[in-house]
Amino acid sequence: MWGMDRTGRVWYHGGDPREIWKGEDTMFGEKKEKRFVRTVHEIADKGSVGGIFVYADTETGVQYIHIVGDGRGGLTVLVDREGKPLLREDLIKKPSEP
């Protein structure tokens, strides 16, 4: 039986996936640089499943908070006191020059 893990790698029940998988580490064609980078990772209380993650978009600099735990989770934009998205300008990638 064939299956797929969270990274998009294909595997086969009853066999070593390293023997089956011959493609790239992506299920969407050519491998690209990651657009989102994790900047914060805090683990929930000891013995609990989940945590708090903050991701930054490397194209816009906008930060997002992702909270997971006990089978639930949520994702939202981080904002400042005026309601504007919090930015990480130091992580914005400059466009490649031709």
Half-sphere exposure of 29 (CA within 13 A, CB side): 1
Q: Over the stretch 14-30, which tens digit does the pLDDT of each residue have?
A: 555 455 445 555 555 56
pTM of this prediction? 0.61
Distance CA 87, CA 93 (A): 13
Distance CA 52, CA 40 (A): 8
Other C-beta atoms within 10 Å of 63: how many?
A: 20
Cross-strand pairs, 51: 43, 68
Please, which pLDDT band fits residue 42 given cuts at 50, 70 and 90? confident
- As a whole number, the mean pLDDT across the chain is 75
The pLDDT of residue 11 is above 80: no
Q: Over the stretch 45-65, which tens digit does the pLDDT of each residue have?
A: 666 678 899 999 999 999 999
